[in-house]
Amino acid sequence: MARPVFFSVGGTRDRKLAEATKALLPDNLVYLYTRTGEEGVSIRREIDAEIQGCLLFVVFWSDDYLASEYATSELAQFRKSAEAYSGREILVVPTTRRSPNPQHKWKNPISGLTEFALGRWRLDRTLDRAPDSQKIAEHVRRRMEQVQIGADVLVPRPSVQQHLKGALGAAQYRSKEFLLIAGFEGDGRRTAIVQYMDSSSRHLTRKNITFDSFENPDDLLPRLLEVCGISLIDANRVLDDVRADRTSAIKELRRLIHGMRESKNYLVVTMDRFSGVDVTVGLPSWVADVFAGFRDGNAPLVFFVTSAPIHNADIEHYPHAGYIRIPGLDEQEMKELVFR
């Protein structure tokens, strides 16, 4: 049975980088094949079967391999095979800064036509300062999610883990209970949080809740009641008390979150701007009313994740909170994977 991810490599530099990237991913997901770069070499039947069966085709592309016209001919064969099936994601990983050029045209050795060498293949660049193999592995993981394979795969990001550890650290071996996390890449933020908590507080269970920036505490409360496992009868009682002004949504939200300590849970709150609200606006003011009072504890309690910018004026409302910005992958503005 073909593996869902196919790595196609050429020169020595390609292979070293591909092997380092493959080591960060589950071994049973990736098939790594080294192209020969020799004249008259066709794709072997078993290799072609792997290409046909994969859902994500990743080609590592470098100058030293492409210097040979035979290598170009062989790569054309791989491209033809990879592009023959709809629904497949294709990713190009250049292993040199300016190779390949997305505007470069070649005479296709198979069709004889002059065309863009890359065709519909995708180039990517990352703003993350992680080592090269980690950046590529994160790109691959996101493509895997797009084709709905390996949705739970977490790519190691040691540099981000160190930043999280530093942001959460408190005196006397304690931890900040509340952490603000900014960053435009939702999956990358999830990966970082899960990996950190799995390594430092594995005994705690993650609970997730999401809301939009235009919503308010009254919108958030019913979701948190459900997430916390409150029975329908008790939840309706709480909501009735809020509507009758016998209590407030903010007070009930705080009570539920504090109760997570005893139930050995931690909460990931994701606020994204799905409604088209101005992205230059900071956090809603009521968020501080709910979360600003959390201090230091034995373990993190709340991760508040947002794609909105968090300004210094916002952070001042959270005197006991940690703050980190997790860099993500910008695929729209940057079209080349640049190694720092």
Quick one: pLDDT at residue 331?
Answer: 36
How far is Cα 300 from Cα 169, in angstroms, rounded to an integer? 10
The answer to whether 5-146 and 158-325 have equal CATH topology is yes
pTM: 0.61
Helix axes 217-227, 232-243, angle to 10 degrees: 160
Contact assessment for residue 328 and residue 188, using Cβ atoms and an 8 Å cutoff: yes
Confidence of residue 211 (pLDDT cuts 50, 70, 90): confident
Confidence of residue 199 (pLDDT cuts 50, 70, 90): confident
Q: Which fold has domain 158-325?
A: Rossmann fold (3.40.50)
Domain boundaries, the chain: 5-146, 158-325
Matching residue, tokens 């990001």:
157
φ/ψ of 88, rounded to 5, equals -95, 135
**Buried (b) or exposed (e) across 312-329, using 16+ Cβ within 10 A?**
eebeeebeebbbbebbbb
Quick one: pLDDT at residue 133?
Answer: 80
Q: Which fold has domain 5-146?
A: Rossmann fold (3.40.50)
